[in-house]
Structure 1
Amino acid sequence: MSRTIKFALAGGPGVLEFIDMEVPAPGPHEIRIRVKAIGINRADSMWRNDKYTERVRFPAGLGYDAAGIVDAVGKDVSDFAIGDAVSTVPAFSLNKYFTYGEVILAPDHAVVKHPDSLSFVEAASVWMMFLTAYGALVFDAQVQARDFVIIPAASSSVGLAAIQIANYAGATPIALTRTSDKTKRLREAGAAHVVATQEQDMVAEVMRITNGHGARLAFDPVGGADFPKLIAALTNQGIAYIYGALSEDDTPIPVLEMIRKMTTIKGYSIRLVTGDDARRKVAVEYVTKGLASGALRPIIDRIFKFDDMVNVHRYLENSGQFGKIVVTL
């Protein structure tokens, strides 16, 4: 039996329910994991509200990120054995698999052995944040030295990962944050420049930093009314990736500005790399090497207990965290 969290209707954190359920033996190409830590993502909140990229089938589970010990392996699983320390990669439908439970099933293609240097808490925080940033910046944009990368919501887990990925690739990250309260911590996390958007003219600051050329990339989880400012801060033929919708406002598209600059706007999802076997393997190897070298490191905001999951979701939705929220079991 496993104590598991599910929800039977969309809504606020209060819809989350603890239930006891039997987790079956793993089927072909499945692994059963006894969970030690769960990474919390903004996607979990969107899924709970049925406002994600996939519609929810109720009753539903939640969660992409977890770390733990292999409890059983199914037929045709060859790379894992009982007792292995592993973590999950976001490469599955939440309508089929989930990580909010004491014991979970996962497809073997979405399970990796994490480096010995990582704790379970750190391992549960790695894959969503770093693979999301890797897919846009490295795989798709092929970011390199001399590139400037604008990173809105820079204190989020993915924002901090994007700062590190940009540095790892030799580029220059420009972190955006609402106020200057987090400037020191963002610099310590690797941001070459920090712009407080409620206190400074973001476009003017980016132009100053880039000697009037603008940034090549923007990696945006926000959208909303300020999105045209990101386009204005890009260089000629720059690329704006939009991978989230933290703002509930409409996102205007500055058509004439885009025509003048020949700007590209790309809707982006981690599925670009995790949805393909070959791409996922390369991405995992890239992040693993970065972790081993110390160039990449998970930044943990706060650790909660599994019993506190409702309050965890309330904390998540306050958007005040700096790094990854993790729950331990």
Structure 2
Amino acid sequence: MKAIEMRETGEPSVLQWVERPRPEIAGPEEILVKLSAAGVNPVDTKIRRNGPLAPEGLPAILGCDGAGVVEAVGESVIRFKPGDEVWFCHGGLGGSVGNYAEYIVLDQHLAQARPRAIDMVEAAAAPLVLLTAWEALHDRARLVEGQRVLIHGGAGGVGHVAIQLARAAGARVCTTVSSAEKADFAHALGAEYCINYREEDLVESVMEWTEGQGVDIALDTVGPEVFRGTIPAMAQYGDLVTILDPGPELDLKEARLRNLRIGLELMLTPMLRSLPRARAHQGEILRRCGDLIDNGELRIQVSQTFPLEQAAQAHTLIEQGHVTGKLALVMA
């Protein structure tokens, strides 16, 4: 099969177009999937630059997200049959298991039936950001109806689905954006209030929107400076969640005075720590997100696709920043 292989760390040019043996089913619960598309995420670029997260190491096939058609099944598989279309988040952290390839083998319980309302490309682009946003809002922040929620980077991969998930749960949403065009995009997704962080003060804007109360929940998708700057915009007893390392220079005095609950979200933990119950929970999250998609309450924005052999170009675009929605690789 054709695949994109990483044999060393470095610039996007280390991603090489190679021929690999097609993976084979080795266990009774496994399925062989012929991939139609693979999502491209910022974590892929970080692994390419800094090295694999999984002990299998190099050479590695990147790509955590995939969607495709089941081609063969193990003898104990009951959830799928050849010809079924599936989506999933699996692999891509090190070694040969990743979705920048034409085929992948995975356990049947890690896949879900592709939502009917989206195509393969959209399905492949969705799992990692959906799991991240859902876990951050529902599992970490314990989102409930009527709360006011701040989503940083509302036009980005995680941000654009987080807006929709918060709205689907009955929350009111404000978000940060970098342009009028991205504000229009975020409003179309359900954001009530958009803050252009290049021109407006975050805390002043949030306090105006919340009549001086602050937001009940904030989701940081940007990094330490934004995390620290969000603390004064929080309501008392609020939940501040970040999907990134908040950094060593962290003064939590004001957070403590506000009795904030700080949440750290890394949806890769179940893969990195081999936690079957947590992975099963993520499968349930994908199923529920699929229902929202099919009911018209959630959409996936794919701003650009690339042929599989152009994975390096996709990495370059992500590292330039400010991608709207998601990128995906498409197999021939």
Under a length normalisation based on structure 2, what TM-score does the superposition of the two structures give? 0.91
Q: After superposition, give the CA deviation of every residue in 1:120-142 in whole Å (9 maximum; x if it has no partner).
A: 11111221121211112123322
What secondary structure, in the 3-state scheme, does the structure 2 residue paired with 1:218 have?
strand
Distance 1:325 1:269, change over 3 A: same
Under a length normalisation based on structure 1, what TM-score does the superposition of the two structures give? 0.92
Task: After TM superposition, list the pairs within 5 Å mapping 1:125-204 onto structure 2.
Answer: 125-204=125-204
Q: Which moved more, 1:74-83 or 1:294-303?
A: 74-83
Q: After superposition, give the CA deviation of every residue in 1:87-131 in whole Å (9 maximum; x if it has no partner).
A: 122478544621010122222222111122221111112211212
What secondary structure, in the 3-state scheme, does the structure 1 residue paired with 2:327 have?
strand
Q: After superposition, give the CA deviation of every residue in 1:42-77 in whole Å (9 maximum; x if it has no partner).
A: 111111122676567111110011111111122422
Match of 1:24 in 2: 23
What secondary structure, in the 3-state scheme, does the structure 2 residue paired with 1:134 have?
helix
For the pair 1:318 / 2:320, whether they are aligned, the reply is yes
Q: Which moved more, 1:304-313 or 1:164-173?
A: 304-313
State the Cα distance separating 1:39 from its structure 2 match. 1.1
Q: Residue type of the partner of 1:34?
A: K
State the Cα distance separating 1:213 from its structure 2 match. 0.7
| Distance in 2 between residues matched to 1:235 and 1:51, nearest whole Å | 39
Question: 4+ residue runs of structure 1 moved beyond 6 angstroms?
Answer: none
State the Cα distance separating 1:208 from its structure 2 match. 0.8
Q: Residue type of the partner of 2:78?
A: S
Contact 1:304 1:328 in 2 (8 A): yes
Distance 1:151 1:118, change over 3 A: same
Contact 1:6 1:16 in 2 (8 A): yes
Percent of matched pairs sharing the same residue: 26
| Distance in 1 between residues matched to 2:225 and 2:51, nearest whole Å | 20
**What residue ranges of structure 2 are gaps of 5+ in the alignment?**
none
| Distance in 2 between residues matched to 1:224 and 1:323, nearest whole Å | 22
Q: Residue type of the partner of 1:46?
A: K
State the Cα distance separating 1:146 from its structure 2 match. 2.1
Q: Residue type of the partner of 1:81?
A: K
For the pair 1:270 / 2:267, whether they are aligned, the reply is yes
What secondary structure, in the 3-state scheme, does the structure 1 residue paired with 2:186 have?
helix
Match of 1:3 in 2: 2
Match of 2:225 in 1: 225
Match of 1:86 in 2: 86
State the Cα distance separating 1:18 from its structure 2 match. 1.2
**What residue ranges of structure 1 are gaps of 5+ in the alignment?**
none
What secondary structure, in the 3-state scheme, does the structure 2 residue paired with 1:226 have?
helix
Distance 1:254 1:55, change over 3 A: farther
| Distance in 2 between residues matched to 1:11 and 1:206, nearest whole Å | 40
Contact 1:175 1:193 in 2 (8 A): yes
Q: After superposition, give the CA deviation of every residue in 1:263-300 in whole Å (9 maximum; x if it has no partner).
A: 22221112478852542343123212211111011111
Match of 1:257 in 2: 254
Q: Residue type of the partner of 1:59?
A: P
Q: Residue type of the partner of 1:325?
A: L
Q: After superposition, give the CA deviation of every residue in 1:220-254 in whole Å (9 maximum; x if it has no partner).
A: 12223232221111111112111125x9xx56323
| Distance in 2 between residues matched to 1:137 and 1:320, nearest whole Å | 22
What root-mean-square deviation, in Å, do the aligned CA atoms of Structure 1 and Structure 2 show? 2.2
Distance 1:90 1:174, change over 3 A: farther
| Distance in 2 between residues matched to 1:8 and 1:91, nearest whole Å | 16
Q: Residue type of the partner of 1:267?
A: L
Q: Residue type of the partner of 1:168?
A: A
Match of 1:301 in 2: 303
| Distance in 2 between residues matched to 1:51 and 1:215, nearest whole Å | 37
Higher RCO (C-alpha under 8 Å, 6+ residues apart): 2
Q: Residue type of the partner of 1:6?
A: E
Distance 1:55 1:234, change over 3 A: farther
| Distance in 1 between residues matched to 2:51 and 2:153, nearest whole Å | 20
Q: Residue type of the partner of 1:13?
A: P
Contact 1:30 1:74 in 2 (8 A): yes
Distance 1:122 1:285, change over 3 A: same
Match of 1:42 in 2: 42
Q: Which moved more, 1:299-308 or 1:165-174?
A: 299-308
Contact 1:26 1:105 in 2 (8 A): yes
Distance 1:103 1:52, change over 3 A: closer
What secondary structure, in the 3-state scheme, does the structure 2 residue paired with 1:167 have?
helix
How many residues are aligned here?
325
Contact 1:207 1:214 in 2 (8 A): yes
Distance 1:143 1:37, change over 3 A: same
